């Protein structure tokens, strides 16, 4: 119990080491940038290339560079948002619970493609960089590319990867998957919205799910199911294999 309390307390230490105005300023700027990014995404007809995560990242990185603001200080200023990644991860249980009736009915017909896609995608990406003789830390980070950001960062940290880089790779994976996924679906002439949703959610996580919702509610529901199942499967299996 004491160890758990100490770990939680360490998460809040960066908040105490900064001036309160700096902390509030960093939080306010981050939230404002994300709000603006959502508006831009909406105005652009929810284009995957202009996803709020992408726009927010570009704006904040540009601002830090232009104003010569220390990255570590900014990171400490948004510690509260980083702490909220934990509850955000737990909240994935809600959409999964909502899809339990579907999972009961379809069973292995849902589980099999999710497990297959969730295994092949990261292994293919890992092999691509393995033969380029990249550092082991980068290889471990690449393995979490297809799961949602909160799970990816935590899992990358557990298996010896880089949580911050994992977030970037996850965003890029989502954008690529949501951009080219529908095109590949048309190419394969897959008309089932169940299959389309599972594919987008499994491989392109939240960004893919957002794209699936623009196709139909059914497609979005199955994308949510794929997102949750693949995230849980990957977050459990990778630490067991590499720690």
State pLDDT tens for residues 215-225. Answer: 887 888 888 88
- Return the percentage of the chain with pLDDT > 90, whole number: 10
Closest CA to 171 of 191, 192, 153, 198: 153
State pLDDT tens for residues 45-83. Answer: 877 778 787 888 889 989 999 989 888 888 888 877 777
Work out the average pLDDT over 144-153. 86
Do 191 and 215 contact (CB within 8 A), yes or no? no
The pLDDT score that the predictor gives to residue 32 is 94
To the nearest 5 percent, what fractions of the chain are helix, strand and coil? Answer: 85, 0, 15
Do 200 and 118 contact (CB within 8 A), yes or no? no
Mention every residue, 6+ apart, whose C-beta is less than 8 A from residue 115.
229, 230, 233
State pLDDT tens for residues 172-215. Answer: 888 888 888 888 888 888 888 888 888 898 888 888 888 887 78
Global pTM?
0.73
77 to each of 21, 83, 167, how far by Cα in Å? 9, 12, 18
The pLDDT score that the predictor gives to residue 62 is 92
Closest CA to 93 of 190, 203, 225: 225
Question: CA 188, CA 234: separation in Å to the nearest integer?
Answer: 27
- The ranges assigned to domains in the chain are 2-83, 93-242
Say which DSSP state 18 is in: S
Question: CA 43, CA 233: separation in Å to the nearest integer?
Answer: 35
């Amino acid at each position: 119990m004491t160890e758990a309390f100490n770990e939680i307390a360490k998460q809040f230490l960066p908040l105490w080491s900064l001036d309160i105005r700096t902390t509030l300023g960093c939080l306010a700027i981050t939230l404002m940038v994300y709000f603006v990014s959502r508006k831009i995404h909406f105005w652009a007809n929810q284009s995957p290339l202009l996803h709020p995560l992408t726009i927010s990242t570009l704006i904040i990185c540009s601002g830090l560079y232009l104003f010569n603001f220390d990255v570590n200080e900014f990171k400490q200023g948004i510690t509260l948002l980083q702490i909220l990644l934990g509850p955000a991860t737990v909240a994935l249980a809600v959409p999964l619970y909502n899809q339990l009736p579907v999972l009961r009915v379809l069973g292995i017909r849902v589980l099999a493609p999710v497990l297959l896609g969730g295994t092949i995608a990261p292994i293919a990406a890992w092999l691509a960089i393995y033969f380029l003789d990249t550092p082991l830390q980068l290889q471990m980070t690449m393995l979490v590319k297809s799961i949602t950001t909160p799970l990816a960062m935590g899992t990358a940290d557990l298996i010896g990867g880089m949580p911050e880089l994992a977030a970037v790779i996850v965003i890029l994976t989502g954008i690529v998957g949501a951009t080219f996924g529908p095109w590949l679906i048309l190419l394969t002439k897959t008309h089932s919205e169940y299959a389309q949703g599972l594919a987008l959610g499994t491989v392109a996580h939240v960004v893919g799910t957002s794209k699936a919702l623009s196709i139909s509610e059914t497609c979005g529901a199955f994308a949510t199911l794929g997102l949750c199942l693949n995230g849980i499967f990957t977050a459990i299996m990778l630490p067991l294999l590499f720690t």
